[in-house]
Amino acid sequence: MISEEHRIAITGNQAIAHAVRMARIHVVAAYPITPQTSVVEEIAEFCAAGKMDAKFIQTESEHSSMSACIGASMTGARAFTATSSQGLALMHEMLHWAVGARTPVILGEVNRALAAPWTILTDQSDSMAQRDTGWMQFYCANNQEVFDSTLLAFKVAEQVLLPAMVVLDAFVLSHSTEAVILPPQDLVDEYLPPRETPVKLDPDEPHAFGGMMFPDVFMEQRYKIEQSMDIAKEVILSEIEEWEKATGRQLKPLYPYRIDDAEVVVMCLGTAFGSVRYAVDKLRKEGIKAGGIRMWQYRPFPIKQLKELIPEGSQVGVIDRAVSFGISGPVGSEVKSVLSPESRNSVYGFIAGLGGREIQPESVESVFRAMLEGSADPVGINWVDVRK
Amino acid sequence: MAIHKEIFSDEALRHVREGSAKPPGQLSADEIPPMAASWANTEKMPVGGWKENRPRYLRGLSPCLAHCPVGNDVEGFVSTVREGDVESAARLLAAETPLPATCGRVCYHPCESGCNRVQLDGSVGIRAIERYLGDLPYFDSANIWSQARPATGKNIAIAGSGPGGLASAWALSLLGHKVEIFERKPEPGGLLLYGIPAYRLPKDILSKEIGRIKDMGVRINCGVNVGEAKELSKLLESYDSVFVATGAAKSRDINIKGDNNKAVYSAIEYLSEATSGNIPETGRECIIIGGGNSAVDAARSAKRSGANVTIVYRRTRAEMPAYETEIDDALKEGIQLEELAIPLELIVENGSLTGMKCLKTKLGEPDDSGRRSPIPVPGSDFVIPASSMINALGEIIDKEELTKNSDFQNALSELNHWGSSNIQGLFAGGDFVGGDRTVAHAIGGGKRAAMAIDRFLLGKSANPLESYIVGGGPASLAGYLKNGESDVLAEGIKTIQYKDLNPAYFPNVEREELAKVLDQKPDNSFREVESGYTPEEAKAEANRCFSCGRCTNCGLCQIFCPEGAAVHRDPQSKELMIFDSHCKGCGICVEECPRCALVMEPVNKESDVVKTETQ
Amino acid sequence: MIIREPNKATVNILGKDHSGPSGGHLACQGCGGALSLRMALKAIGNRCIFVIPACCMAVIDGPFPVSSLGVPLMHIAFGATAPTATGIKAGLTTQGDNETLVVAWAGDGATFDIGLGAVSAAADRNDDYLYVCYDNEAYMNTGIQQSGATPKAAWTTTTPNKKPKTSIKKDIISIMAAHRIPYIATASPSHPDDFLRKFQKAKEIKGFRFLHVFAPCPPGQRFEEKNTVKVARNAVESRVFPLLEIENGEKLTLTDIPDPIPIKEYLELQNRFAHFKNEDIEAFEKNIEKRWQELSEWNRKQT
């Protein structure tokens, strides 16, 4: 046990593994896929070395990994898995099940583009494809945030009975080493007490879970998921506060950058935000009132915070690293729908950085300029850095 | 971490733990749990309404019961042996018969002919099981019976102490009446003593059986011939009722030349003397005429006294009325059988019998008895050596010996099924009334007459006598004593046939045969040929019983009901019922029941509907 | 000598009043699956947790808020039975409960087809729970479509008589035996003593246990409801469904060696075989006989 805070150099994947260890996880079930593998390798190593008192199960598929996690979670245990891309897609059926069964499973999701054709590099098409499942999603931009988000995810998930994905970009975070501060175990224990499950799989109080439900109550059941998402928004804020009190580090649903007087704003999720900041700085030097927002909390969608942050009348460009083919980028259309009722902003959807293509500061700058020049399509998809 | 209260309210948690009075469709989102967790079992689901047919436990009748002329609860005592409770089995047996050790030895066991197991691998050895029980110490005294009624003060005279008279005396005693028997012979027992050789029915066994009846208070006056010493009509004046069971004791004449020779005997005479210990002289070559049981009994007795014995019969072995096993045993003991021959005359030289001239026959068309009639073959006469001849052509009833009163003679010729005559108080039974002349029929007749006499004497009874008839066959005394409250007397009870059973549960099991020591040497030994079952053998044989039509609590219906709807009426009860609200009417219980103790009935039939009950 | 009336100990357990799943469940009349489940639950008792995937039993147990089983039950997606059970067991043991028996109860579709890879993986890991496949030889819940367990040429809605199934029933027992798991057994509700003994034995064994239960389906296999047990019994008696157990994937014991009844007596009860001509019956018989010979040889080698 680590009793004192210390700072170590670890990859994003290792940061997840350490957080899972410190969460006193009961069951980890996973199946290897690049670039997720080192998460489970690290956990298997911790278990083998006796640094974790958990059961590590290597399954034969991600579908089974998620099934095992749901099963474990139904007994009141804390359960975790990690995956990427195809693996997440294969889990899809069980992602829905985890939500419907109200099992607060935590999933380390290393963003990787979906085949075909094969690629192992990053984009957000895998996790965005699961945005309607009812999972909470937190997109990280550095390894410390990965660590902190994972512990927070457990704590929020267990209160609102919804599973959560901690999302990080393939290689950029997963395999890049950064300094990460690990708090003492007793701090984590205090922050994240054992899970309380009044109703679970228990021979002393037998219930059937997930049996057939007729229309007279199915919709109320679905309404309760949405209600829980709403409540999660508040719980996340209070847990951010708790975590800040304990560690001095603050997570934010939305990370603004030079936004206060911005007339043109670019939004994105994940590590590409570095390029956004660079481009903002460059345009500011030119006298253009540019700003940026990084979205950490994607589900539940931080509607209130977004409305508060976006300056009135500014143009907003949303860079998606995923496409909902035939219409737009997913985040872009959601931001549009959030801001449109008051019609105070023009929102444009941009697609960039698919399949590991770098989103360079110049890419972001072109996004700003398209809005400033009025050349951006306000309805359709605006492709960035694509040879048409 | 604890779950947020707005997501899983206390009320929703209470519903999950304790259930909800309202259906989920009437609850608000706040009142239902976030996960679909059940909070009730399925017991109130109305699945019982799916069915078109419903099963019902219904006792069927084992054919052995209907086939037993005595009226024994055959299946009852056999299955009770199977269950290992021999005392209860003995009591069940004792409830319907006073002579189990006797019937267990000499009965021709029609129960076994009726046994459904015949169609699988041979009937259950019912007679041997009855013998096993009858020999148990429970039958050492009359304590096996308890007085069913207080003394009525009625007196009954019985003529004859054969099986009919004894059975009637026993039944009447149980019913509280005082009984006095008049027996012509010096010892009681009638045919049982004087007609059945001791190698089949040892004297000590018979005397124990009769002793028990005496112990009940029945007086037996031996050496009193009702016809001579006490005229029947006079007897009726001194007693409340008279039961005549004097049997068929007169031999049919043979009417051939030489039949007056001193070495010519009737079978009745011969067997009677042999029983008394004075075996008549037969010489080396003894001829028996006839094919019935008394012919075989006489033949085997003569064989035991040292003679070479030949049975002369006018048909073939197949037509012989004697019991198959008796014929088998006789032949095994070295007795010759001269088939298809009729006696013409006895050859007497110097007053001594030397031979018998016979004529060959051939078989023609069936006669009234269904057997092919023998037709003499002209010119086929032949002589067989003979030093003695026993006439076993059969016995006839002699009413004239009993009474000279023609009214009484007529009355005794026109008896109903219950042995009632048209003279008040006069009843008759046993071989005397004709019909099947067997020990079992005599006992059955005695019991029936006792019931009829009881009704005559007491005048009132809720039920007609016919309601005590089991399956169209015998009458049940136990049922009579319980005023008909016996499930084998249920109206319309169906006799179970082999096709009604589920043979899957009855693999072939070889029948336990009784060990026999057949006499091979002439040593005048009348020791018993058969030995009885050991307790293990009795149980093994009882285990072969199907218990046709009677629920044995084998548990299959309970195991196989997919709904769990076959349950005992209450935890203490052995009686099963169908929980109607859960039964969907699949019929597995009925189909699988090994012994047809359930029936399927249309749902719209209102009989015996088990209304919805709370489990 | 086989007395097929169950012994008293069996009756006391399997025939016990008001035990096992509650009545009022939604199984069709004469359901062999519901019957098997009832018998199994009585055999193993209440200290257990069931996992049931998409199958008839998911419906039979009853809609929210009712449940017939009387023990904890987790419904799960079709191919997810085995890993869910794995996860439940892991969840229990890591929280200190080493006693509760986890039972995966899945149909032939979930076992032979959609969940086979997952079953294999759980067997390979020797996960500590009891997996029961109740086999009615087709996708009955969805309306009688062929599965890997459907016998060759049997009628289903996706193998109409004009285009019959060409492969024989998948040999799931050999597949499982190849995993060298501690215990495999077949069981038929028609043989209660054998059924009870195997469930009780399986309950006590540690590691992955696989029980294959023959569960006749009146509407799917097309026979009269009352004949469910008879169909099961005839399957055993005709050697179509041999009763056996295999320990450690090696030691095979035939637990019932019937003097075989003609296969026709099994086939003719069921209308899914009604189109069989003599040559079809012979071909069917040949496969059954071949399999029996293999099993007998295996059995002989071990004893």
Burial C19-47 (b: 16+ CB within 10 A, else e): bbbbbbbbbbbbbbbbbbbbbbbbbbbbe
Indicate which CATH number applies to the domain containing B576: 3.30.70.20
Which chain B residues have a beta carbon less than 8 Å from that of C11? 553-555, 558-559
* N- to C-terminal Cα separation, chain C: 20
Which tokens belong to C194? 């054998």
* A388 in any annotated domain: no
Q: How confident is the model at residue A269 (pLDDT cuts 50, 70, 90)?
A: very high
* B475 in any annotated domain: no
Same-domain status, B162 and B226:
yes
C residues 65-104 closer than 8 Å to A (CB): 66-67, 69-77, 79-80, 82-95, 97, 100
pLDDT for the residue numbered B521: 66
* N- to C-terminal Cα separation, chain A: 56
Q: How far apart are CA C21 and CA B46, in angstroms?
A: 16
For every residue of B426-472, DSSP letters joined together read EEE-GGGG-S--SHHHHHHHHHHHHHHHHHHHH---SS-GGGGBSTT
**Do the Cβ atoms of B191 and B431 come closer than 8 Å?**
yes
* B133 in any annotated domain: yes
Indicate which CATH number applies to the domain containing B380: 3.50.50.60
Q: How confident is the model at residue A1 (pLDDT cuts 50, 70, 90)?
A: very low
Q: How far apart are CA A202 and CA B197, in angstroms?
A: 77
A103-138 tens-digit pLDDT: 999 999 999 999 999 999 999 999 999 999 999 999
**Residue contact B38–A208, C-beta within 8 A:** yes
Q: How far apart are CA B151 and CA B172, in angstroms?
A: 10
Mean pLDDT by groups of 10 residues along chain C of 303 residues: 76 93 96 98 97 97 96 98 98 97 98 98 98 98 96 95 93 97 98 97 98 98 97 96 96 94 96 96 96 93 69
Which chain A residues have a beta carbon less than 8 Å from that of C77? 67, 93-94, 97
Same-domain status, B355 and B313:
yes
B19, B562, B591 ranked by CB distance to C34: nearest: B562
pLDDT for the residue numbered B612: 45
**Residue contact C24–B565, C-beta within 8 A:** no
Same-domain status, B536 and B589:
no
B51-73 tens-digit pLDDT: 999 999 999 999 999 999 999 99
B20, B504, B564 ranked by CB distance to C21: nearest: B564
**Do the Cβ atoms of A105 and A98 come closer than 8 Å?**
yes
A285-318 tens-digit pLDDT: 999 999 999 999 999 999 999 999 999 999 999 9
Question: Is C261's Cβ below 8 Å from some Cβ in B?
Answer: no
Same-domain status, B383 and B294:
yes
B residues 526-555 closer than 8 Å to C (CB): 553-555
The minimum CA-CA distance between B47 and chain A, rounded to whole Å, is 17
Task: Average the pLDDT over A50-59 and give the result.
Answer: 95
Q: Give the nearest chain B residue to C12 (CA atoms).
A: B555
A residues 136-155 closer than 8 Å to B (CB): 154-155
Indicate the average pLDDT of chain B. Answer: 91
One-letter amino acid at A319 equals: I
* A1 in any annotated domain: no
Q: How confident is the model at residue B343 (pLDDT cuts 50, 70, 90)?
A: very high
A359-388 tens-digit pLDDT: 999 999 999 999 999 999 999 999 999 999
Same-domain status, B295 and B388:
yes
Task: Average the pLDDT over A199-214 and give the result.
Answer: 97
Nearest CA-CA partner of C87 in C118, C110, C111 = C118
pLDDT for the residue numbered B524: 65
Same-domain status, A54 and A72:
yes
pLDDT for the residue numbered B92: 96
Same-domain status, A234 and A275:
no
Per-residue pLDDT at A3 exceeds 60? no
Indicate which CATH number applies to the domain containing A179: 3.40.50.970
B551-590 tens-digit pLDDT: 999 999 999 999 999 999 998 888 999 999 999 999 999 9
Ramachandran quadrant class, C239 (left: phi over 0; alpha: psi -120 to 50; beta: rest): left
Indicate which CATH number applies to the domain containing A379: 3.40.50.920
**Residue contact C63–A211, C-beta within 8 A:** yes
* B481 in any annotated domain: no
* Domain with A43 in it: 6-247
Q: How far apart are CA C117 and CA C115, in angstroms?
A: 6
Handedness of CA B167, B173, B174, B175 (dihedral sign): positive
* Domain with B213 in it: 147-248+398-459
Same-domain status, A157 and A191:
yes
B51, B555, B582 ranked by CB distance to C24: nearest: B582
DSSP-assigned beta bridge partners for residue A56:
A28
Q: How far apart are CA C248 and CA C251, in angstroms?
A: 7
Same-domain status, A128 and A236:
yes
The minimum CA-CA distance between A14 and chain B, rounded to whole Å, is 24
Same-domain status, B273 and B232:
no
Q: How far apart are CA C243 and CA C236, in angstroms?
A: 7
**Residue contact C11–B558, C-beta within 8 A:** yes
Task: Average the pLDDT over A341-346 and give the result.
Answer: 84
Nearest CA-CA partner of A186 in A236, A142, A247 = A247
Q: How far apart are CA B32 and CA A128, in angstroms?
A: 31
**Do the Cβ atoms of C213 and C278 come closer than 8 Å?**
no
**Residue contact A213–B8, C-beta within 8 A:** no
Which tokens belong to B573? 């009860």
Per-residue pLDDT at B460 exceeds 70? no
**Residue contact B41–C66, C-beta within 8 A:** yes
pLDDT for the residue numbered C5: 86
* A374 in any annotated domain: yes
**Do the Cβ atoms of C225 and B586 come closer than 8 Å?**
yes
* A167 in any annotated domain: yes
Q: Residue A356: helix, strand or coil by DSSP?
A: helix
Q: Give the nearest chain C residue to A209 (CA atoms).
A: C74
Query: Between the CA of residue B256 and those of B313, B349, B533, what are the distances in Å?
Result: 15, 16, 46
Same-domain status, B448 and B522:
no
In this complex, the chains that touch C, judged by 3 or more CB pairs closer than 8 A, are: A, B
* B203 in any annotated domain: yes
Q: Could you write out the three-class secondary structure of B362-411?
A: EEEEECCCCCEEEEECCCCCEEEECCEEEECCCEECCHHHHCCCHHHHHH
Same-domain status, B288 and B343:
yes
Domain limit, last residue, from A247, A275, A296: A247
Same-domain status, B266 and B235:
no
Inter-axis angle of helices C228-237 and C32-44, to 10 degrees?
80
B residues 7-36 closer than 8 Å to A (CB): 7-8, 13, 16-17, 23-25, 27-29, 32-36
pLDDT for the residue numbered B234: 85
When divided into structural domains, chain B yields a total of 5
Same-domain status, A229 and A285:
no
> φ and ψ at C64, to 5 degrees?
-50, 130
* A91 in any annotated domain: yes
Per-residue pLDDT at B300 exceeds 60? yes
B111-162 tens-digit pLDDT: 999 999 999 999 999 999 999 999 999 999 999 998 778 899 999 999 999 9
* N- to C-terminal Cα separation, chain B: 40
* A376 in any annotated domain: yes
The minimum CA-CA distance between B582 and chain C, rounded to whole Å, is 5
Domain limit, last residue, from A207, A226, A247: A247
Same-domain status, A190 and A296:
no
* B336 in any annotated domain: yes
Task: Average the pLDDT over B220-249 and give the result.
Answer: 87
Mutate to test the interface with B, among A78, A188, A217, A226 (most CBs of B within 10 A): A217
Domains of chain C: 30-302 (3.40.50.970)
Q: Which residues contact B142 (CB under 8 A, 6 or more apart)?
A: B212, B213, B215, B216
Same-domain status, B385 and B413:
no
Same-domain status, B434 and B448:
yes
The minimum CA-CA distance between B35 and chain C, rounded to whole Å, is 10
Same-domain status, B257 and B381:
yes
* Alpha helices in B50-186, H assignment, sequence order: 63-67, 74-82, 86-94, 100-106, 110-114, 126-134, 163-174
Which chain B residues have a beta carbon less than 8 Å from that of C188? none
| Number of neighbouring beta carbons within 10 Å of residue A15 | 32
| Portion of chain B with pLDDT greater than 90, in percent | 71
Q: Give the nearest chain A residue to C66 (CA atoms).
A: A208
Q: What number of CA atoms fall less than 13 Å from residue B271's CA on the CB side?
A: 29
Domain limit, last residue, from A203, A227, A247: A247
When divided into structural domains, chain A yields a total of 2
C1, C64, C229 ranked by CB distance to B588: nearest: C229
